[in-house]
Amino acid sequence: MKTALLASAALLSYLISGSDLRAQVAVFDSPNFANTLRETVTATKELVQLQQQLMQLQQTYRMLTNPSDVTGMFPVLNAPAMQNSMPAASSIPGQIVGSSSVLSSAGQIFYNLNHVFSATGTDPQATLLNRSSISTANIQGIAAANLASIEQRQSNLNVMQAELQGATDIKQVTAINGRIAIESNAIQGQQAQAQNLAAMASAQAQADQQAALQSIRQGHEQAAAMFTGTLN
């Protein structure tokens, strides 16, 4: 009898302890876990998108705030001879008039091509003849240098337009357009210089004609003075 009571007590104790263990086991809520997982995935995607947007904003900020080296885009156009192919204003009168000591390097090329004879003597006609050949050569040299500069600018303008078509951002487009505007204005300025050079060349030609007539008149007056002197 005692043994049966002990067995019954043990069974009751096991049942009670087993129910306590089952009560301590967590219950897995699969729908709630799935919702939490979806929310986590969505939040991660949004975070990645925000990071990408931040990077784009940073790139845009750097693009807009960093200075554009407009003049450095085409270094060949920054050479002094390209910026202004005309000689210094102080040397133009001597080159245009054709002083014997002022023959430019560019003018020398045309002088060598066209020169046949140098008049000897110091009389007005000899001086005018020699001076006129130097003047013509210098004018041709100035015009040739100006034309070469315009051709170089025009060639680079074509390159700039091609780069403009392949530009990838607003800042690059703005920079290229700015340089195109600079070069276009420079070409207009050089065209104005060419017109001024043509006007000076025309005026110098008229001055040479006047000098030639004056020389002839001078010779007539000197001959008349000598004739009058012989009569006295």
34 & 102 share domain: no
Find the mean pLDDT for residues 34-42. Answer: 78
- Answer yes or no: is pLDDT of 144 > 50: yes
| 24 within domain boundaries | no
In contact, 75 and 179? CB cutoff 8 Å: no
Quote the pLDDT of residue 178: 80
Is it the case that residue 64 has pLDDT exceeding 80? Answer: no
For residues 55 and 80, membership in a common domain is answered with no
Q: Is residue 15 part of a domain?
A: no
Together in a domain, 187 and 204? yes
Q: What confidence score (pLDDT) does residue 28 get?
A: 53
**Structural domain includes residue 9:** no
How far lies 47's CA from each of 35, 52, 82, in Å?
18, 9, 54
Indicate whether 93 and 37 sit together in one domain: no
Number of domains in the chain: 2
Q: How far is CA 220 from CA 60, 121, 122, 215, in A?
A: 82, 19, 18, 9
Write b or e for each residue in 91-105: b if 16 or more Cβ atoms lie within 10 A of its Cβ, otherwise e: ebebbbbbeeebbbe
Is the predicted pLDDT of residue 101 greater than 60, yes or no?
yes
Q: Which of 113-117, 130-134, 153-157 has the lowest mean pLDDT?
A: 153-157
State pLDDT tens for residues 187-224: 888 888 888 888 888 888 888 888 888 888 888 888 88
Residue 193 lies in a domain: yes
What is the pTM (predicted TM-score) of this model? 0.59
Alpha-carbon span 169 to 111, nearest angstrom: 51
Domain boundary among 48, 66, 84: 66
What contacts 115, CB < 8 A, 6 or more positions away?
133, 137
Q: Does residue 116 fall inside a structural domain?
A: yes
In a domain, 168, yes or no: yes
Residue 192 lies in a domain: yes
CA–CA gap between residue 107 and residue 96 (Å, rounded): 11
Q: Is residue 20 in some structural domain?
A: no
Q: What's the rounded mean pLDDT across residues 82-111? A: 82
Say yes or no: 62 and 76 in one domain. Answer: no
Q: Do 45 and 98 lie in a common domain?
A: no
User: Final residue of a domain: which of 43, 66, 89?
Assistant: 66
Task: Please determine, for residue 8, whether its predicted confidence score (pLDDT) is greater than 60.
Answer: no
200 and 126 co-located in one domain:
yes
- β strands within the chain, DSSP E: none
The whole-number pLDDT of residue 214 equals 87
Ramachandran category for residue 87: left, alpha or beta (phi over 0 → left; psi -120 to 50 → alpha): beta
Whose tokens are 């986590």? That residue is 40
Same domain, 221 and 145: yes
Domain that holds residue 35: 29-66
Cα separation, 140 vs 87, in Å, equals 13
**pLDDT of amino acid 109:** 92
Token pair for 54: 């931040």
